[in-house]
Structure 1
Amino acid sequence: MAHHSDDTKEMDIRSLSSSQHQVQNFPYIHKVGLPPKQNLFNEFKTTVKETFFADDPLRHFKDQPKSRKFILGLQAIFPILRWVRNYNFSKFRGDLIAGLTIASLCIPQDIGYAKLANLEPQYGLYSSFVPPLVYSFMGSSRDIAIGPVAVVSLLLGTMLQNEIDSSENAAEYLRLAFTATFFAGITQATLGFLRLGFLIDFLSHAAVVGFMGGAAITIALQQLKGFLGIKKFTKKTDIVSVLHSVFGSANHGWNWQTIVIGSSFLAFLLFAKYIGKKNKKLFWVSAIAPLISVVLSTFFVYVTHAEKQGVQIVRHIDKGINPPSIDKIYFTGDNLLKGFRIGVVAGMIALTEAVAIGRTFASMKDYQLDGNKEMVALGVMNVVGSITSCYVTTGSFSRSAVNYMAGCQTAVSNIIMSIVVFLTLEFLTPLFKYTPNAILSSIIISAVIGLIDFEAAILIWKIDKFDFIACMGAFFGVVFASVETGLLIAVSISFAKILLQVTRPRTAILGRIPRTNVYRNIQQYPEATKVPGVLIVRVDSAIYFSNSNYIRERILRWLTDEEEQLKASCLPKIQFLIVEMSPVTDIDTSGIHALEELYRSLQKRDVQLVLANPGRAVIDKLHASSFADLIGEDKILLTVADAVVTCAPQAGEEV
């Protein structure tokens, strides 16, 4: 028995040694695994859930009693109910200081921004009273400060002016403004409710940088009317028309007293902003500088009676809080369609700005911001605003930055700001009677200068030249044509980039890194060597109807070019084409058809097609279409190294 046992052990050792020898000489080839079949409905449901409900918004409601679900539902709609229980005096102190600080900044800005939208000054103040209160209850950002902003005010004013002249028919213009605000809110809330927030991401960062920069210059140029004291000024916003209007009235239209007031206070505002940037602890200097400027300039005009010397002043701001305006919104007729069109555009731009600001400060404080909830909150805020005499409001970057630096803790800072605006509307509006228009122009110019981001434009140039074209296209479109044209160019170029990337995906020839089984792009790794008789191509995109023919033709061109080089060098021809499919996340019927055509073209050239590492979705469709049977399952392998060993065993052994 012992002798038999020793013989068995000896045979096992010989067998093991033999198998090891076989593995060394003939490495094990890994085939691509076919995933288990899944229920088609469940798979479709999973895809839809991942597309529209990736954050699983109902996860908090699972396994909860009905009473708890009701509370959680209320907290989802009104996030204030979630954190108000833990609110304390320490947080209130931070919010109080922040609220008072942004109120001092927003009041003079609101009066100026209302003029930018061709509305009476009180409508700017109305828009910083009701909307911030609504957002405080429904918004999820702790830092965003709500109110009118320069870019949206200009966009709204320009688009409304194209439909109705504000000076000839002020009542109809105001009604259209409220209608546009209503539909801006409906658009925002709908996008959030249907979880379609990803649509705003189609406006690329580069396009936004260019659009904002162009809008800032346009806004600043528009302020030359008040800054120089010009009475007759062009309604157009392009730089040529504005400069023609400015210099055309140089001899008789400029008012030197107005220029002195505007220039001196603009210098003061820019100096205050410089101090705030230089020393972060002195942020409050730049925040209260606009209010100080308004107070001092108003006092100066009142004492000297400068209005009698041609200095234009505000003259009148209606006293009292927001009157209802639901009866002024158009719900029928041509103006309904006009308001809808303007509202959708203004709402999308406002949404883009607010979400970008919210995400920026959320990342700085390390908390999560629910983009879809934000959209619903902003939408409801603007719908309520439209029925309470407000125009389109959103998150303001300058105010939000001040809010953040002032130490805000929660959305209560917006409530504090609203209360201050309420007190201003009730008691202080008569004090603004002698406020010169030049000071409002100076405040707006100093505020929008920060929207011109030279550093971002330079970085875009360094990173992606096509992005830079999008940036400059949006910029010059706004400056030389109009805000709408610039926006259209920005969106068009962003879409064009997506289409180019989808229809013209990258492909690369791979070679083996010396002394490894790793295959990489030979242009990125010049030391990588090609395998004799084998061409390895990688496709860096999903294969869809939009790019399938291009990919097939590009692979055949790679093959033709390679064969010509080999023929010129008297080297062996290509026998195998390996397509590395790791980056191919999906394939459709057009893609399968393109692979079939590629296979037939290769057969005519006596070249065998081999696929390496197709993903789960791709291998499923290759089997469902019978393409796997067409080329043979032994031609679909796990790695490029496995495919090379199969095609050229001698090359696979030379590591």
Structure 2
Amino acid sequence: MKAEGGHGAAIPPAKPFLKWLKCSLKETFFPDDPLRQFQNQPPSKRLLLALQYLFPILQWAPRYTLHFLKSDLIAGITIASLAIPQGISYAKLANLPPILGLYSSFIPPLIYAMLGSSRDLAVGTVAVGSLLMGSMLGTVVNHSDNPKLFLHLAFTATFFAGIFQAALGLFRLGFIVDFLSHATIIGFMGGAATVVCLQQLKSILGLQDFTHEADLVSVMRSVFTQTHEWSWESAVLGCCFIFFLLISRFFSKKQPKLFWVSAMAPLTTVILGSILVYVTHAEKHGVQVEGIAVGRSFAMYKNYHIDGNKEMIAIGTMNIVGSFASCYLTTGPFSRSAVNYNAGCKTAASNIVMAIVVMLTLLFLTPLFHYTPLVVLSAIIVSAMLGLIDYQAAIHLYKIDKCDFLVCMSAYIGVVFCNVEIGLAIAVAISVLRVLLFIARPRTSVLGNIPNSVVYRNVEQYPNATHVPGILILEIDAPIYFANASYLRERITRWIDEEEDRIKVTEETSLRCWEHRH
């Protein structure tokens, strides 16, 4: 064939099927080419590289310095001060004994420190994961009626969640997560945070009986049918602690160097709340305490690479191991990881420091939580969840893409007015449907030439763009597949008819103008 100017363009040779299949699979599952580092290496070097690949701790441990230790020590202690109250609070959210939240901040971080590739990720329990576990297991067994079976199911669920996560990483399927759109995640996380905050009204208002449902209607009905049981002492205490936590976060955002203020605030509220209850005997005035439950029972900024599949294997492995050590579902919470990053961590050793601090707490300090009021734990949860309701992102979506805003609100409403499981299903379904619609109905537009330039733009967006006589230029925002072939054929046929009508009208107009002049 001939290109413009008469120059020949050679047709590329056909690629054999097996070679094409190999290249396609490699590009899909191994875009980072993890085996490249093993090429042209002696056997001993390959063994060392393999061990370092499986256990990243072998990469940074030999180069560890006293300077790194100082930074990781400060970061580890800082995130431990956040992990301890959050671990207790989130375990309560999952309807599990609070001490399991401390176990889950002790064993998994040690596993991740050996297997994880991120320097900044701080491992521990998360509110949304705790809510999902408590909600899903609650449909099978009541945690109050059969706590032993509920515990066994929680550990079993954690084990299989770890198996699933590790399998996704092992089979290089981490790209599946990319199908969840940003709008969907905003809506789901906002809805889950709203549900979590609503459930904390039980402790904040000092209610004894509360609905096990998570939807807005059930919670509001449970709250306003028990107005005679509201405890104003508990409500005032809860509001004060929420205000204190939000103020500390505000100052930390305004002055990033004061990150430690926000990090230390949850533990400070636990200590102050416990002292207040002990001094005033507030448990006799409607303020419930924790009591026996505890006594008995950022890579892009630092310019380093994180392998998403390796991370899934590491997180899956720590959940598998943790399920055998009385730990429930853990991952890398964003808030704790942000504190770890701001605290200046250098390696994953900050997780080891955090685990040691939590271990010391388990051994020596758990009796001090005897007077911890439930309202303080609820305040910690509420303040953390309010940070997940990103209303500014939702407003931004409304301004730039109404369809994305609709997706976001659908996920949010599904979680708030139905339940977390239905909301999650809606979020995933909408994300997949959005991808399918993008493929089956791609955006197409007619391009015109910008006067006095070689630039072509959408004629609907640029009124001064002119059509090229006799040529229809189209821009299709997706590859051409069998799923969109018929649609594109119909659109192109319609545009050709419209172009012919436009040319015909233009010619008739020109002819009438000529006749009028003559």
Q: Same fold (TM over 0.5)?
A: yes
1:278 is aligned to 2:215:
no
Within 1, Cα distance between the matches of 2:286 and 2:473?
Answer: 78
Partner secondary structure for residue 184 of structure 2: helix
> In the alignment, what sits opposite 2:239?
263
Partner secondary structure for residue 163 of structure 1: coil
Q: Select 1:35's aligned residue among 6, 9, 12.
A: 12
- Is this contact kept in 2: 1:139–1:373, CA < 8 A? yes
> In the alignment, what sits opposite 1:55?
32
Deviation at residue 421 of structure 1 after TM alignment:
0.8
Per-residue CA shift, 1:513-545, capped at 9, x if unaligned? 445565543334433433434434343322111
> In the alignment, what sits opposite 2:342?
405
> In the alignment, what sits opposite 1:144?
121
Task: Give ranges in structure 2 of 5+ residues lacking alignment.
Answer: 510-518
- Is this contact kept in 1: 2:294–2:369, CA < 8 A? no
Q: Select 2:288's aligned residue among 299, 305, 312.
A: 312
Q: Select 1:86's aligned residue among 63, 83, 92.
A: 63
Partner secondary structure for residue 168 of structure 1: coil
User: 2:81 corresponds to which letter in structure 1?
Assistant: S
Q: Select 1:177's aligned residue among 137, 154, 167.
A: 154
Deviation at residue 484 of structure 1 after TM alignment:
1.2
Q: Select 1:455's aligned residue among 392, 405, 408.
A: 392
Partner secondary structure for residue 509 of structure 1: strand
1:501 is aligned to 2:438:
yes
Structure of greater relative contact order (alpha carbons < 8 Å, 6+ residues apart): 2
- Is this contact kept in 1: 2:294–2:370, CA < 8 A? no
Q: Select 1:66's aligned residue among 43, 47, 55.
A: 43
Within 2, Cα distance between the matches of 1:516 and 1:284?
Answer: 55
Within 2, Cα distance between the matches of 1:523 and 1:29?
Answer: 34
Within 1, Cα distance between the matches of 2:445 and 2:239?
Answer: 59
User: 2:364 corresponds to which letter in structure 1?
Assistant: F
User: 2:403 corresponds to which letter in structure 1?
Assistant: F
Deviation at residue 265 of structure 1 after TM alignment:
2.0
Per-residue CA shift, 1:224-279, capped at 9, x if unaligned? 1111110000001111111111111111x212222232222222222222222222
Within 2, Cα distance between the matches of 1:233 and 1:266?
Answer: 21
Deviation at residue 507 of structure 1 after TM alignment:
2.4
> In the alignment, what sits opposite 1:342?
none
Q: Select 2:279's aligned residue among 260, 278, 303.
A: 303
Within 2, Cα distance between the matches of 1:30 and 1:529?
Answer: 28
Cα separation, partners in 2 of 1:33 and 1:125, compared to 1, 3 Å: same
Partner secondary structure for residue 50 of structure 1: helix
Partner secondary structure for residue 508 of structure 1: strand
Q: Select 1:465's aligned residue among 382, 388, 402.
A: 402
* Structure 2 counterparts to residues 505-516 of structure 1, below 5 A: 505-515=442-452
> In the alignment, what sits opposite 1:427?
364
Q: Select 1:565's aligned residue among 499, 502, 513.
A: 502
Deviation at residue 32 of structure 1 after TM alignment:
4.4
Deviation at residue 461 of structure 1 after TM alignment:
2.0
Within 2, Cα distance between the matches of 1:563 and 1:37?
Answer: 38
Cα separation, partners in 2 of 1:518 and 1:443, compared to 1, 3 Å: closer
> In the alignment, what sits opposite 1:438?
375
Cα separation, partners in 2 of 1:536 and 1:290, compared to 1, 3 Å: closer
Cα separation, partners in 2 of 1:247 and 1:52, compared to 1, 3 Å: same
Q: Select 2:493's aligned residue among 556, 573, 580.
A: 556
Per-residue CA shift, 1:630-651, capped at 9, x if unaligned? xxxxxxxxxxxxxxxxxxxxxx
* Structure 2 counterparts to residues 232-631 of structure 1, below 5 A: 232-251=209-228, 253-317=229-293, 361-515=298-452, 519-570=456-507
Within 1, Cα distance between the matches of 2:257 and 2:11?
Answer: 61
User: 2:117 corresponds to which letter in structure 1?
Assistant: S
**RMSD, matched Cα:** 1.9
- Is this contact kept in 1: 2:90–2:125, CA < 8 A? yes
Q: Select 2:138's aligned residue among 154, 161, 170.
A: 161
Cα separation, partners in 2 of 1:108 and 1:517, compared to 1, 3 Å: closer
User: 1:236 corresponds to which letter in structure 2?
Assistant: E
Deviation at residue 197 of structure 1 after TM alignment:
0.4
Within 1, Cα distance between the matches of 2:89 and 2:294?
Answer: 15
Within 1, Cα distance between the matches of 2:456 and 2:237?
Answer: 69
Task: Give ranges in structure 1 of 5+ residues lacking alignment.
Answer: 1-25, 322-360, 573-655
Per-residue CA shift, 1:350-386, capped at 9, x if unaligned? xxxxxxxxxxx11122211111110100000110111
> In the alignment, what sits opposite 2:21?
44
Within 1, Cα distance between the matches of 2:117 and 2:427?
Answer: 29
Per-residue CA shift, 1:544-597, capped at 9, x if unaligned? 11100001111111112222333444469xxxxxxxxxxxxxxxxxxxxxxxxx
Give the alignment's TM-score, normalised by structure 1: 0.75
- Is this contact kept in 2: 1:319–1:427, CA < 8 A? no
Q: Percent identity?
A: 57
1:77 is aligned to 2:14:
no
User: Which deviates more from structure 2 when the two are superposed, residues 237-246 or residues 29-38?
Assistant: 29-38
Within 1, Cα distance between the matches of 2:34 and 2:278?
Answer: 57
Per-residue CA shift, 1:115-137, capped at 9, x if unaligned? 10010111111100100110011
- Is this contact kept in 1: 2:188–2:408, CA < 8 A? yes
Deviation at residue 297 of structure 1 after TM alignment:
1.4
Cα separation, partners in 2 of 1:220 and 1:538, compared to 1, 3 Å: closer
- Is this contact kept in 2: 1:320–1:426, CA < 8 A? no
Partner secondary structure for residue 389 of structure 1: coil
- Is this contact kept in 2: 1:319–1:426, CA < 8 A? no
- Is this contact kept in 2: 1:91–1:409, CA < 8 A? yes
- Is this contact kept in 2: 1:317–1:429, CA < 8 A? no
Cα separation, partners in 2 of 1:518 and 1:171, compared to 1, 3 Å: same
Partner secondary structure for residue 368 of structure 1: coil
Per-residue CA shift, 1:501-520, capped at 9, x if unaligned? 11111223333444556554
User: 1:285 corresponds to which letter in structure 2?
Assistant: V
- Is this contact kept in 2: 1:188–1:376, CA < 8 A? yes
Cα separation, partners in 2 of 1:224 and 1:563, compared to 1, 3 Å: same
